[in-house]
Structures are given as C-alpha cells and as structure tokens.
Amino acid sequence: MEQLSLLDTKDYELMKAQASVRAAQLTALIRHHDHYYYELDRPEISDAEYDALMRELLELEEKWPELATPDSPTHRVGGRPLKQFTQVFHRLPMLSLENALDESEVRAFEQRIRSQLALPEEVKISYQCEPKMDGLAIELVYRNGLLEQASTRGNGVVGEEVTANIRTIRNVPLRLTGTSVPTLLEVRGEVYLPLAAFQRLNAQREEEGEPAFANPRNAAAGSIRQLDPKVAARRPLAMVCYGVGLLEGATIQTPCQSGLMAQLAAWGLPVSDRQRRVAGIEQARQYYRDLLAERDSLPYEIDGAVLKVDELQLQQELGEKSRSPRWAVACKFPPRQAETVLEDIELSVGRTGVITPVALLRPVELSGVTVSRATLHNWDELERKDVRIGDRVVVERAGDVIPAVVKVLTDQRSGQERQVPPPSICPVCGAPAARLAGEVAVRCLGGLACPPQLAEAIIHFASRDAMDIEGLGTKYIEQLLSLGLVKDVADLYHVGLDDFMQFERMGDRLAANLLNAINASKQKELGRFIFALGVRHVGARTARLLAERFGSIGHLQAATLEELTSIRDVGPTVAASIRSFFDNPANQNVLRRLLEAGVTPTVEQKKVGGSLSGKTFVFTGTLTRLTRDEAKALVEGEGGNVTGSVSKKTDYLVAGSEAGSKLDKARGLGVIVLDEAAFISMVGNSQGEQ
C-alpha cells in the first residue's frame, strides 16, 4: 500500500510538471500570436487554430488550477456574469477635453496658454498630437505590474468596475513588461471597436433581428457595459492609452507627454501609432490636416485631433479647470458628409404614434458605414428644406446621431422631382393622422390599436431601463404580435411555454429562460414600472421621482395636477400627460390586468445601516464634479437623507462655489460644512468600506 501511494504521488508530480511545461508553452504561443494579430496585424494562424490553443490551456488550468497565473491569457475568455456593476471612485478625477471647432478656436487656445505662461513670441510650444479616438474612456489600475482593476469614466469622479470585460481585450496587457515596473500605475485610454469588426457585428445583429448599433462608439460602450464578460470576449475590442493618473514606484525618463507615451509603450501598453510631437502651433495644425486626410483610410473611427502641451512642467503650471485641463484641446473634425439621390420617402410610425418621414437613399459610403436611410426629422423640416423624391441631397453623420439629410442640391433638379404632402391617414393602421396644436409632428391617432405603436410599446416595456426582460428583444416581440399572442403589454404575462415553442428556432431552454425573465419582471422597482408604461414625456428619471413621491401606482393614479406639478421636473405639460394617461379607460384596463397578472412593483427601501444612515445633508452653491442628482444619489445610496433647507437637524452642509445664505446659516448653527472634494472623499471612503 505504502509503495503504491508513493508511486501515485510521483506520477502526480510528474503529470503536474508536464502540465506546467505545456501550459508555459501554450501561454508563450498565445502571446506570440496575439502580438502578430493585434500589434503587427499579420496573423500567422487561423482563428480556429488560435481557439484550439486557448481551449487546451483552459482545460489544463481547469485540471491544475494552480497553473492559472494572474496574467494567464485564459482570463481573456470571460468569467462569470455579474449581477450588476459596482462603483469605482477615481482617485484623480478623469477629466474631459475642451473642443475647438475651427482654426480661430485653436489659435485662441494657444493665445490663452502663451499669455498664462507669459511666453515671449519667439518661443515655440511643443505639442504632443494624438488622434481623438471615438470610443469610451477607461482607467486601468496596475499594482506591482498586474492588472488589478478597470473602470469606466462615468461622470469623471465615479465610474463602474468593468475589469472582467476589459481583461478580454487582447491588446490590454494583464501584466506589464519591461524594466522598472511601477508599484502603482493608473493609466487612462480609449476602448474602441475597429471598423471592420463593427460592420461584422452589425451585419450579424441584423440577421438575428437585433437593432444595429448606430456607430462603433455605441457598440464599444454596449460591449463594455455587458454584465456577461463572455459577450464582451466575443467582440474584438482594442484599447489605446493616452494618459496617466497616479504613478508610484517609477519615474518617467523624459518628463513630457511624448516621453510618458514612450514609457507606457515600454511597459507593453498600447499607444497610438499616429501620435506625433511637433514644435509650434503651425505644425500642430498641419498634423490636424494630415490626420483629417488620413481619416477615411484608418481602420478605426476618430473624431478629431488632440493637442497637448508636451512638457509636464508646463502642464502643471497651466493647471486644470473643473472638468478639463488648460493644457489640452480637442480639435474636432467636421461631420462627414456625402452626396446621393433620395429615391423615396417612407413614413415610419413610432411608439408614440409620431409619423416620421424617412429618406430612402441610393446607398452611399459614409464614415465606414453604408447609409441607405436618413431621417428627415418631421414635416416642418421637410417643407422648410423643400425635400422632394428624386432630389440630389447631402447626408451627414454627426457624432452618434442617425444620418440626416442636411441639404438639397436644388440647382441639380430636373423638374421630375415629386413633393410629398403630410399624411392624413396613418400608413400602417389607416386611422386618421394629424398635426396636433403646438406640435411639429404628424401623429397617428389610432393609439395602441396601431401595430407599430403596440410593438414599440412592448419593446419599450421590456427594455433595460424599464422592466428589463432579458432576452425578449424585437425579434421575439414581433413574433408574439404576428401570432396574435399579445395584444397589449399585460398579455405578456399570459404567454406560456407552448406559445414560445411555436417560434422559429426555439429550444426548450431558451423558451424557459424567456418565461423566467418575464416572471422575474413582475417584481421590479416602481420607478421602472412607471417608465415602462410609456406615458408621454415621462422618462426614466421622472418616473423614479414619481415613484419616490407617490410610493405606489394607486397613489400616482389618483394624483391631482397640483400634486404632480409640485414635483421637481414635472411641469404642466408632463402633469397633463400623466393625468390623461391614467384617465384613459383603455390604459386603466391594461393597468388592472397587469396587476391581476401578479405584477407588483416594489418600492425601493432606503439602505438601512448604510454608512450615512440617519444623517441629513443639504447642498448649496454650484458643484463642479457631480450634478446635484448624482450627489443626492450617493448620499441616499448610503442610507442618508437630502433636504432643501438648513436646520438644527442638518448634519452636513455641502457647499459648492458661490454658496449663499445657507452657508451662513449652517455656520451659525454649528453644522459641519464640507466642500465638494471633502464630500466626495467621504462618500468614496464609505463605498470602499462595504
């Protein structure tokens, strides 16, 4: 016996040693291929071969968990899904950039700097010029060289922890390389989706009946905000670093922005291959022109050039404003335009019944995307621009908006063009359509009897900020409607397993998941439920305020106009819209059936036992890093209260700039006064203690 177990141990050690050697080989191979794929853009093996290497390493690590080092490439495959993101306080605020929209604004930027630094005319300022990547800002934290945490920018002060998703990005090193690795490095950069991947992703989504992303930035943001890292892992995101937050345990050889970038690259971090250090503003402007000319041939989306004063010493002297540094400026590119023919005008009916004219275009390439539709906004706009079928038009994509027709080339008309009058009946349901008093929009008056309004109402009801019914996307909602299974939102709660099984390509598991998600939505917060009802003018934020104020759907239903308008954010129009929604017998019926089906909206309890439990805060003056609502949410999230006026019961007064009489009163009463920074560090610490 003794002999046997000895042999076993030996075998075990031998197998483990072999596994360890193979894991090291696989790790080295995967890193080698990552380098060829991501940095050199010259893959040596197929995706399938790469996946096989990764799978083999995953299997080894599953068998021998001690082989899974913190920087193993397998961490990029995506871990377990999260329930929700946690908040991260940035130790140094993540600033944004001031924009320069034309040459005069760039000159004004340089002038401001020169006068602040009192530079003689002959001294040229060196600028580090970089592309302004169009993605989302992320902060990475490396401790002793290992990637410890990644977070979104959020509002610059508080972001969300997205480490698991960022780990899936191949060009983000899990461990820093090179010599003299810092003990702490906070590095900032932009995560983006390359154009080719963006186009592939949208083609795939359209095939699956999912809505396409409007642009690569939305696609990148959507991927990073996925709670399931496996979804992010399937999106080939990339990152470019452009700045540093805290740095401890290492010094930068050349104390300038370009030196910083060189150092980041030496630690294995990705930096832009289009960055250039120039002498003087004229060269910086030339950089802008060169980059603009190159824009269409780049494999990723950029929306301008960023000019940064190169010397860190000068940056320090120039300092920062509340939200942006004085030493940098974003020179934005003009929106991209293209010329094409407007072949037809389609009438699209939205959730609220608004009939929008949509231009059907001869397909044209615009910012890496083929554009074949563009919004014409509304009939006023269409008439003002005198848009006609057959016109040659200029279309534009600015930022994240859907393409729009910005101009008609009237001098190129042949006389054959056709005007389109506003519709008097709904193109879908045939009900009367009209322009209501004081509105520019033409609206279908058919209500929920109009299918697109119903489809959109259900899509909205199930959406993430509303009832958040996971998996119930457009594709399934359309099938529910076309099979006649759902005639209003309340019917959703009567759909059964067999109903889902009639869908194309539906399996037992998927159907059960959909049913579970529908059931789970019966107990969502009241604010979500109110938002989900789709009352005109009631967005997610107003819905939350209504939930807070009334505490139940019954109380809201009975609220008078006066009670409604007493709420912040609710003016007469919103109040009237709420009343008319609840006075409508058809809506009352749907609401009753929702409650009968077991929908019981929950009321959020204030956090009991939070670190600010029982404490009362008052805000005064202007906050610069947080909005009032954000600050209030932070206090309430920790169980505290926020009131409007200072009294003996007030525990803390948070005083922004230009604080007035409340500050005097608080001082008189001996209330503790905090400035914004002290407040942030107070709530920041209490978050950390959880």
* Residues known to be catalytic: 132
Amino acid identity of residue 95, one-letter, is: L
Count of CB atoms within 10 A of residue 309's CB? Answer: 26
Q: Tokens 């231009």, residue?
A: 359
State the virtual CA torsion across 350, 355, 359, 360 in degrees, nearest 10. Answer: 60
Q: Which of 288, 272, 258 is nearest to 100 (CA)?
A: 288
Q: Given the complex with ligand IVH, which of 330 and 663 has the nearer CB atom?
A: 330
d(CA 89, CA 624): 16
Q: Given the complex with ligand IVH, which of 272 and 641 has the nearer CB atom?
A: 272
Q: Which of 215, 224, 218 is nearest to 160 (CA)?
A: 224
Q: Given the complex with ligand IVH, which of 97 and 653 has the nearer CB atom?
A: 97
| DSSP structural state of residue 375 | E
Distance, C-alpha 58 to centroid of its chain: 31
Contact 613, 638 (CB under 8 A): yes
Secondary structure (DSSP) of 183-239: SEEEEEEEEE--HHHHHHHHHHHHHTTPPPPSSHHHHHHHHHT-SSHHHHHTS--EE
Distance, C-alpha 535 to centroid of its chain: 25
d(CA 213, CA 330): 25
d(CA 494, CA 597): 8
Q: Which two tokens stand for residue 238?
A: 């990339």
CA atoms within 13 A on the CB side of 264: 30
Q: Which residues contact 629 (CB under 8 A, 6 or more apart)?
A: 541
SS3 content of the chain, % helix, strand, coil (to 5): 40, 20, 35
Strand, helix or coil for residue 162: coil
Q: Which of 97, 520, 30, 573 is nearest to 306 (CA)?
A: 97
Q: Given the complex with ligand IVH, which of 132 and 388 has the nearer CB atom?
A: 132
Q: Given the complex with ligand IVH, which of 152 and 453 has the nearer CB atom?
A: 152
Q: How far apart are CB 272 and ligand IVH at their closest, in Å?
A: 7
Secondary structure (DSSP) of 67-103: G--TT-GGGGG--PPPSSPPEEE-SS------EE-SH
Distance, C-alpha 598 to centroid of its chain: 33
Q: How far apart are CB 223 and ligand IVH at their closest, in Å?
A: 16
Q: Which two tokens stand for residue 470?
A: 């996971």
- Contacts with ligand IVH, residue ranges (CB under 6 A): 95-97, 130, 132-133, 137, 153, 190, 242-243, 306, 325, 328, 330
Q: Which of 288, 372, 274, 389 is nearest to 330 (CA)?
A: 288
Q: Given the complex with ligand IVH, which of 239 and 538 has the nearer CB atom?
A: 239
Q: How far apart are CB 334 and ligand IVH at their closest, in Å?
A: 17
